[in-house]
Each structure stands twice: as C-alpha cells, then as structure tokens.
C-alpha cells in the first residue's frame, strides 16, 4: 500500500465552501455540470443511469457543506458519540431520502421537469443497497436516520458487502437466488478513502516477553488484509446535520505478485487478492461448511477491528487519554456479530498500550452495550474455540481470562453452585468447546437490552436469567421504532399530506403529535379522504406490481399482507392454511362464496439459501397461488400475490396500500417486529398474536382496533411442557384436516403427493411453532376481521386510530430511550 502518512495531508482550516444556490436555476446548472463533467455526456445522449448518477451527485453536493460542517463541529466540541456497530445496514434507496432531508424535492422536480426529465424515472433507476437481511439491518438504518435528525453525533460502522442480500427469483415457483450486484452501475452515494485504510490481522500465534520487568503477551499474526473505508452521508431531516456511516471493504495488502504472474501462474498471482476480498464479498455467506463459518468470523472481526482502529486513531485527537474513553464514545453492539470488539479493545489496551488488565477492564465495561434481537436459542451465536483460536489466538486467550475472572465472582456469590457456574460460563463445553458471544457481551457490556417490552422481560426471565439475577442493573428494554421520514413521509405522500393538512407538519420529527388526529376519526369527511388515499395507494401498488412482476392485483379487494423473512417461527404456513381452508370450504360448498370477503393475500419473503423447509414453504405459497389464481370458482374472491425479491423499495409501496397486517408469530418467538409498526402507522389494522411489539401496539391502539388471537407465551410454555401433539388438533378439527389433506392430496402440485409432503409431515409430526394449535383461533379472528371490514366506516375509524395512536413507534423515541437508559449522549444544540 502507499505510505499512508505521505498521502494524508492534514489541511488546516479550509475556507467554508460557498453554499450552492437552492434555486431551480442554480440546481439546473449544477446538474448539467455533473452530467457533462462528472458523467462525461451531454443531455441529448445521457442514459437514465447517467442522469440518475448526475442527479445523485448534485444532491450530494448540497449536503456536502453540512457534512463538513458537522465533522468540523464534532471535532471542535469533542462531544460524546454513539458508534453503532452493525453487520447490517439495510438502507433502502438513498435519493429520495437525501432530497427530503435537504428540502430540495420541489426545486429538483421543477428543474428536471424543465429539462424534460421525470424525477420518478430517475428515482426508479436507483438500485437499493441490500446490505442487510431483515429487521435487524433495517432497524440500524432507522436508528442512524433518527440520530442525525435529533442532532446526536453518531458513526455507523459496518461492512460494504460487494454483494448484498441475494436477489430472489422464482423458477416454477421455487426460490432461485441471484447475486445482488448493486454496485454494477455505479454507487454515487459513497466516498472511498483508500488512504485511510486500516490493516487487520488474523492467525499466527501469541508469545510472552519481558517488558522491563513486566511479563506481557503479544500477538504475532499470520496474515493480514486492508480495510478501506467508504463513507456515506446520513442526513438529518432539514436540520443541517449530516452524520457518517462508514462501511469497510477488504483488500489484499500485497495486491499482486508480478514474479508469479510472469512465470505464468495467473491464478496463484491473484490468490491473495481474492482471498482478502472474499471477506467483504457477500452478506451472510452460507455457513454450513467450515470455510463458510470461518469467513463469517473473519467478517465480524474485520469490521470491528477496522472500526475500533478508526475511532481510536482517526476520530479521537492524537493526544487523547484513552482513560477518558467513556466520556467520548459508547459502542452499541447490534446483536452478537460485533461482540468480538470486546476482546479486541482489551488487546489494544493491554498489549499495545500496555495498560494493566484491571484498568483496561474498567474502561471496557463502560464503553460497550449490547442489544439482543432474538429469543431462539439457536440464533444466539457461538464460535468454536478451535476456530477462534486459529483465527484470533490472542482474542481467545483474552476471552478465557475474562471468563475466569467472571466465574470467580460467580463462585464467590454462589458458593457450591457449580451447576450455575457452568450455565453462566462464557465458554460452553458441549457439544464442543465454544464461546457464547451473547454471554461475553452481557458480562462486558454496561447494559443489555431487548427490543420490545415482552422480549426484554423474556430475556431477563428466561434466556439470560442467571445473568439478570447476577447483574440486575444491566438489563433494560428499548422498544424498537421506525423512521417516520422514510416509512410515512416518503412512502405515503397522500397520508402525509392529509395529516399535515390537519395538524401541521411537526409530526415528522415528533410523531406523538399524531395523537391530535384522534378526534378526526369521528369526522366523516376525514375518513372519506383517508379511504381515498388508501385506494390511491392500492392503485399505485397495482401499477408497480404489474410493471415489476407482471402481477395483476384487484384494488377493490381487501389487501391482506404478510411480508417478512421466511421463517417457521413467523408462521407463514398459518397464513397459508387460512387461505387453503377458505379455498377448500368454498370449492366444497361449505362456504357460500357470496359471503366471502374478497381478499388479495400478498406475501413477500426470502428464505435463507440453506434453509430447506423455508424454501419448501415458498414453493407451496406459489403453488397454492397458481391454483387459486387460475380457478374460476374463486375468481374475484380469493387471490394470492407473491412478488419475488421483497425489499425496502417494495415495502415502501406495499405497506401504505395494506388493509390488514399479519403479525402471527408464535408468542414468545418474535423479539419485536418492526413491520408491524410500519403497517399500523400507515393505517392497516393488525391481526396478531401477543408477541413482540404487537403487545405494545395493541395496548396503544386498543383492543377494539386490533385482532388478537392465539396462545400467550405462558400458555405456549404449558402446551409444550405437557407434550405437544399436533395430530390431536388435526384429528379433532375437521376444517384443519381438510386444509392439510388438500395440500397432501397433490392438488397444488399437479397431483404429485410428494412435492409438499415435507411441509405437511413437519406440521403433523413436529410443528415446533404450534401452527396447528393456533389454527382455529386464527380462523375465528379472521372471521372477526371480515365482520369488521364489512362496516367500512367503522373499519376506517379504526385505521385512523391506529395511525393516531402509534406515534410511540417512531425510532426517534427509541433513540431517546437509548440515550436516557444506555448512552447518555446528549444532542448537540444546533444553535450553539
């Protein structure tokens, strides 16, 4: 690599750049300049992509002044920041958000219009960066948006995956994954800084040495890679602040061996390069092989090592006394993926800065906090000690020592309770020796939080019970939230306009103000306008799905939506059994078709590539969809729309059009959910279990405006403890039996009984998530939905109340809770 020091010249106090003219003419000039000099084309020959790239860069210029100003002030003030460490940032498209934040929408629309360019076309040219998998990554994106809007200093740290979450396609109804080549046409929102690359090492061994009478350890690594930072702007909403998201890309340190190349071994010459670049190649590489597992651990260590080095060496002033680190930073660990940062910072302090262990440990316990996002034991990450020891030998030693000292304390508190000690050990011994990352985070972190009230309670009572007894003060809750800027203001312009017309626009940054809409639920004219907007949103969705997927959707039906990752605990099969049962009862004459509410069942879900049952379920949804959609017997009454490749962009059109939101996970399994909040805030009613944040949604919107069903978490525990037998439900419930039998008969698979046998067999024999146990309650709740929907006025009233009472679910409120309970990072006064 080039000598970084010589490349990085610190320029003193540059003159502030002139603020660009925020007029239509000013914008047009900037845009054409970008097109000509940035893209190298003139308007007459510019492709849509050229125009999009030029527009993005132009908008970026307007934000740039604020970004530099934010950085300058941050450096000056040395205020405490949040470092949000996350393996995922599911950002969604950037253009619209940047336009909104900078208040440039109208100017840009008019300026482009004068040139004969349609802003909507350029918007559609943007490929969304799919650098996340689901809720966890989208939450991170909402959080950084809120922090910027609230004037809180924050750096998001993550990985710049060359390929994000795969692009899902369907072939004969089965999921086929295609690479998500999101960078192919250029990525105008990023700023690479190769000169600020960080070296990250792996492997090798450790050795002790005498350091002027003190025995110390050093790590002698075996190999290393470079981490190149790519900076992204995170603009606050109309407040002049632009925070930074810094994503790391891996590169080889010795890029190319010319000698080997000249000897003709071309593959070998680039081997090191390929090997290094693999680290940031894809999001969640398949980890069913040992190589895949190792690559994931490499990714995790890679990005936290880069981020810590960056913060300590670049963001902090050179002479900063690290003993004061807790005054300057809190590293929020978004799930267990970044937890390896804990031993990394210990290593830096103890081995590199030569602190004594206890001093280092005292700082560590103040600068990390951990958010847990799951309740499934299998989702709590563990790393085999063997792998960790090979890849990060020094870190494993440090973890052992942390564990030893921690367990000494446990033994002291609970003498003669070796069982407890074993339960609480960071190191598990079975089935192989491994490191429990959630335990490590809990022991080292200042706080541990769950992501909804029920989840935090179950964490403390069950999943981490021993720990909550031991460290009761560490456990807290912060219920998730979503950014109202993207998911209401941008996604639902109709509703936003209606709200603003009624109560002013303060709600965009103070969502609790939606409460002021409550009286309007009783206003017939308001309800009419509200309904009209819903209908318009459905028409918008009709257009998008026709164009995107060739799907014809009937806007005059109830739009019943279930969109989320495909996972058995989320119970897409329960939704499907409802559909199949309706179909079966109509076609067998049990139900009078004229009494069935016309519904479109929309699904959106990706299955993890290695998750076979989830892929089977996708195949089944598509197969049922094909049969039902083609059957004249149910035409106009039942249909299924399952667009492939559900992503943030599609969510922004789908959610505002929805009437009914399906949140039907087995109670005690969904940590929070955030889709549930997006739907409620866009005026859909929820049918849901008492799970995750559904609990809080129901409490806030009221029982009359929420369709609750199913076993509660304690009831689930009782059923399971008593020995759950799904077949007894099958045998005793005719409706259920007929629905399952219809699937088993091959009706949806051209008569072939084998195709979906695994799904049926799994439900009948194991049914780990109690689909059959909740089936009848779910059907009954759906009957209540039909009855409610029949009274359009009452339904709309409920929908308005859902919007008015869901202000709590703003991610701004989540951020306030994190700040009060965990971070203690006051906002910067914009006028100071």
For the chain, the farthest-separated pair of C-alpha atoms sits apart, in whole angstroms, at 90
Q: Which stretch binds ligand GFP (CB under 6 A): 96-104, 466-474, 525-533, 668-676?
A: 668-676
Residue pair 255/2 in contact (Cβ under 8 Å)? The answer is no
Cα–Cα distance for residue pair 543/548, rounded to 1 Å:
8
Query: Shortest distance, CB of residue 451 to ligand GFP, whole angstroms?
Result: 4
373-406 exposure pattern, b = at least 16 Cβ within 10 A, e = fewer: bbbeeeebbbbbbebbbbbbbbbbbbbbebbeeb
Query: Shortest distance, CB of residue 156 to ligand GFP, whole angstroms?
Result: 15
Residue pair 446/370 in contact (Cβ under 8 Å)? The answer is no
The yes or no reply on residue 668 touching ligand GFP (CB under 6 A) is no
Q: Report the residue number, 153 or 450, with the smaller CB distance to ligand GFP.
A: 450
The full DSSP string for 16-55 is PPPPPP-SHHHHHHHHHHIIIIIS---GGG--HHHHHHHH
Q: Which stretch binds ligand GFP (CB under 6 A): 271-279, 470-478, 639-647, 667-675?
A: 667-675
As given in the structure block, the two tokens for residue 677 are 């909040």
CB atoms within 10 A of CB 414: 16
Per CB under 6 A, the list member of 131, 136, 341, 700 interacting with ligand GFP is 136
Per CB under 6 A, the list member of 244, 674, 682, 806 interacting with ligand GFP is 674
Query: Shortest distance, CB of residue 371 to ligand GFP, whole angstroms?
Result: 7
Q: Is the dihedral of CA 42, 43, 48, 50 positive or negative?
A: positive
- β-partners of residue 638 are 599
Q: Report the residue number, 569 or 729, with the smaller CB distance to ligand GFP.
A: 569
Q: Report the residue number, 240 or 609, with the smaller CB distance to ligand GFP.
A: 609
The yes or no reply on residue 134 touching ligand GFP (CB under 6 A) is yes
Query: Shortest distance, CB of residue 374 to ligand GFP, whole angstroms?
Result: 6
The yes or no reply on residue 696 touching ligand GFP (CB under 6 A) is no
Name the one residue in this structure whose structure tokens are 């009937």: 554
Q: What is the DSSP letter of 633?
A: G
The yes or no reply on residue 158 touching ligand GFP (CB under 6 A) is no
Sort strands 448-450 and 368-371 into parallel, antiparallel or unpaired. Answer: parallel
The kind and range of the H/E element at 84 are strand 81-85
Per CB under 6 A, the list member of 604, 692, 710, 807 interacting with ligand GFP is 692
Q: Report the residue number, 235 or 481, with the smaller CB distance to ligand GFP.
A: 481
Cα–Cα distance for residue pair 23/45, rounded to 1 Å:
25
Per CB under 6 A, the list member of 538, 565, 571, 805 interacting with ligand GFP is 565
Cα–Cα distance for residue pair 346/349, rounded to 1 Å:
5
The yes or no reply on residue 133 touching ligand GFP (CB under 6 A) is yes
Query: Shortest distance, CB of residue 366 to ligand GFP, whole angstroms?
Result: 24
The yes or no reply on residue 606 touching ligand GFP (CB under 6 A) is no
Selection from 675, 706, 665 nearest residue 805 by Cα: 706
Each residue 348-387 as x (binds ligand GFP by CB under 6 A) or -, in order, gives: -------------------------xx-------------
Which residues are known to be catalytic? 373, 564-565, 570, 674, 678
Cα–Cα distance for residue pair 85/345, rounded to 1 Å:
14
Cα–Cα distance for residue pair 303/298, rounded to 1 Å:
9
Q: Report the residue number, 427 or 651, with the smaller CB distance to ligand GFP.
A: 651
Query: Shortest distance, CB of residue 373 to ligand GFP, whole angstroms?
Result: 4
Which residues fall within 8 angstroms of residue 224, CB to CB, at 6 or more apart? 199, 200, 201, 202, 253
Each residue 452-491 as x (binds ligand GFP by CB under 6 A) or -, in order, gives: ----------------------------x-----------
Q: Which stretch binds ligand GFP (CB under 6 A): 21-29, 127-135, 228-236, 418-426?
A: 127-135
Query: Shortest distance, CB of residue 537 to ligand GFP, whole angstroms?
Result: 24
DSSP helix/strand/coil, 206: strand
Per CB under 6 A, the list member of 100, 112, 131, 139 interacting with ligand GFP is 139
DSSP helix/strand/coil, 663: strand
The yes or no reply on residue 92 touching ligand GFP (CB under 6 A) is no
Q: Which stretch binds ligand GFP (CB under 6 A): 132-140, 168-176, 533-541, 776-784?
A: 132-140
Residue pair 538/559 in contact (Cβ under 8 Å)? The answer is yes
| Alpha helices for 588-692 (secondary structure H) | 612-630, 648-657, 675-681
Cα–Cα distance for residue pair 580/576, rounded to 1 Å:
6
Q: Which stretch binds ligand GFP (CB under 6 A): 105-113, 382-390, 411-419, 664-672?
A: 664-672
Q: Report the residue number, 70 or 806, with the smaller CB distance to ligand GFP.
A: 806
As given in the structure block, the two tokens for residue 189 are 């929102």
Q: Which stretch binds ligand GFP (CB under 6 A): 135-143, 251-259, 434-442, 650-658?
A: 135-143
The yes or no reply on residue 616 touching ligand GFP (CB under 6 A) is no
- β-partners of residue 331 are 83, 368
Per CB under 6 A, the list member of 180, 670, 713, 767 interacting with ligand GFP is 670
Per CB under 6 A, the list member of 299, 672, 762, 811 interacting with ligand GFP is 672
Q: Which stretch binds ligand GFP (CB under 6 A): 152-160, 345-353, 470-478, 672-680?
A: 672-680
The yes or no reply on residue 164 touching ligand GFP (CB under 6 A) is no
Between the alpha carbon of residue 196 and those of residues 161, 227, 248, 365, the distances in Å are: 18, 9, 11, 29
Summarize as ranges the residues that interact with ligand GFP (CB under 6 A): 133-136, 139, 373-374, 451, 480, 565, 670-674, 692
């Amino acid at each position: 690599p080039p000598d970084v020091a010589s490349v990085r010249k610190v320029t003193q106090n540059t003159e502030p750049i002139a603020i660009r003219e925020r007029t239509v003419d000013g914008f047009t000039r900037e845009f054409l300049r970008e097109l000509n000099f940035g893209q190298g084309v003139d308007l007459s020959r510019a492709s849509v992509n050229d125009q999009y790239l030029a527009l993005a860069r132009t908008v970026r210029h307007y934000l740039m002044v604020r970004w530099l100003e934010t950085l300058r002030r941050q450096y000056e003030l040395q205020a405490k920041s949040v470092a949000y460490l996350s393996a995922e940032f599911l950002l969604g498209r950037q253009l619209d958000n940047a336009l909104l934040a900078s208040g440039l929408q109208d100017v840009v629309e008019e300026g482009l219009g004068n040139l004969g360019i349609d802003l909507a076309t350029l918007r559609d040219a943007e490929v969304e960066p799919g650098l996340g998998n689901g809720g966890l990554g989208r939450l991170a994106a909402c959080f950084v948006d809120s922090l910027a809007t609230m004037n809180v200093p924050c750096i998001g740290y993550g990985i710049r995956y060359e390929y994000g979450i795969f692009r899902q396609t369907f072939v004969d109804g089965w999921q086929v994954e295609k690479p998500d080549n999101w960078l192919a046409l250029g990525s105008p929102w990023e700023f690479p800084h190769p000169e600020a690359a960080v070296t990250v090492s792996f492997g090798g061994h450790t050795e002790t040495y005498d350091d002027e009478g003190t025995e110390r350890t050093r790590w002698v690594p075996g190999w290393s890679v470079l981490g190149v930072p790519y900076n992204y702007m995170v603009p606050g909403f109309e407040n002049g602040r632009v925070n930074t998201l810094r994503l790391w890309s891996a590169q080889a340190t010795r890029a190319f061996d010319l000698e080997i190349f000249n000897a003709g071994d071309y593959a070998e010459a680039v081997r090191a390069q390929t090997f290094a670049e693999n680290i940031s190649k894809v999001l969640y590489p398949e980890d069913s092989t040992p190589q895949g597992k190792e690559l994931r651990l490499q990714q995790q260590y890679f990005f936290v090592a880069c981020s810590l080095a960056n913060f300590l060496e670049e963001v902090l002033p050179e002479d900063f006394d690290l003993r004061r680190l807790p005054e300057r930073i809190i590293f929020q660990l978004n799930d267990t993926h970044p937890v390896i940062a804990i031993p990394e910072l210990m290593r830096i302090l103890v081995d590199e800065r030569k602190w004594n262990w206890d001093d280092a440990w005292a700082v560590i316990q103040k600068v990390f906090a951990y958010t847990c996002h799951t309740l499934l034991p299998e989702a709590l990450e563990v790393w085999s000690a063997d792998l960790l020891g090979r890849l990060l030998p020094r870190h494993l030693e440090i973890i052992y020592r942390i564990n030893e000292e921690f367990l000494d304390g446990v033994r002291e508190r609970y003498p003669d309770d070796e069982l407890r000690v074993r339960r609480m050990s960071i190191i598990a011994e079975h089935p192989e020796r491994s490191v429990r990352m959630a335990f490590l985070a809990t022991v080292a972190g200042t706080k541990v939080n769950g992501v909804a009230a029920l989840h935090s309670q179950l964490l403390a009572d069950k999943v981490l019970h021993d720990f909550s007894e031991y460290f009761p003060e560490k456990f807290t809750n912060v219920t998730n939230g979503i950014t109202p800027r993207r998911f209401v203001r941008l996604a639902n312009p109709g509703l936003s306009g209606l709200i603003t017309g009624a109560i002013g626009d303060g709600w965009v940054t103070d969502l609790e103000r939606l409460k002021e809409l409550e009286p309007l639920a009783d206003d017939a004219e308001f309800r009419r306008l509200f309904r009209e907007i819903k209908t318009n949103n459905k028409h918008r969705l009709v257009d998008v799905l026709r164009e995107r997927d060739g799907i014809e959707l009937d806007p005059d039906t109830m739009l019943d939506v279930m969109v989320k990752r495909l996972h058995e605990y989320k119970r897409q099969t329960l939704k499907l059994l409802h559909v199949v049962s309706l179909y079966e009862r109509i076609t067998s004459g049990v139900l009078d078709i004229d009494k069935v509410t016309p519904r479109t069942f929309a699904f959106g879900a990706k299955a993890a590539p290695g998750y076979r049952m989830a892929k089977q379920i996708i195949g089944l949804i598509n197969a049922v969809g094909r049969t039902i959609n083609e059957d004249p017997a149910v035409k106009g009454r039942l249909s299924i729309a399952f667009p492939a490749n559900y992503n943030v962009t599609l969510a922004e059109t789908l959610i505002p059009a929805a009437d009914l939101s399906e949140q039907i996970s087995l109670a005690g399994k969904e940590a929070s959910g955030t889709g549930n909040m997006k739907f409620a805030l866009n005026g859909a009613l929820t049918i849901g279990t008492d799970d995750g944040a559904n609990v809080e949604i129901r409490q806030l919107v009221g029982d009359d405006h929420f369709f609750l069903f199913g076993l509660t978490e304690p009831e689930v525990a009782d059923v399971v403890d008593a020995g759950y037998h799904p077949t007894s439900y099958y045998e005793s419930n005719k409706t259920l039996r007929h629905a399952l039998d219809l699937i088993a008969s091959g009706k949806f698979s051209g008569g072939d009984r084998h195709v979906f046998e695994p799904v049926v067999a799994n439900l009948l024999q194991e049914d780990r998530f109690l689909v059959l146990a909740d089936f009848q309650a779910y059907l009954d709740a759906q009957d209540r939905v039909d009855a409610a929907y029949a009274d359009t006025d009452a339904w709309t009233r409920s929908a308005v109340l859902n919007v008015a009472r869901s202000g709590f679910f703003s991610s701004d409120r989540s951020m306030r809770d994190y700040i009060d309970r965990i971070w203690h990072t006051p906002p910067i006064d914009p006028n100071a």
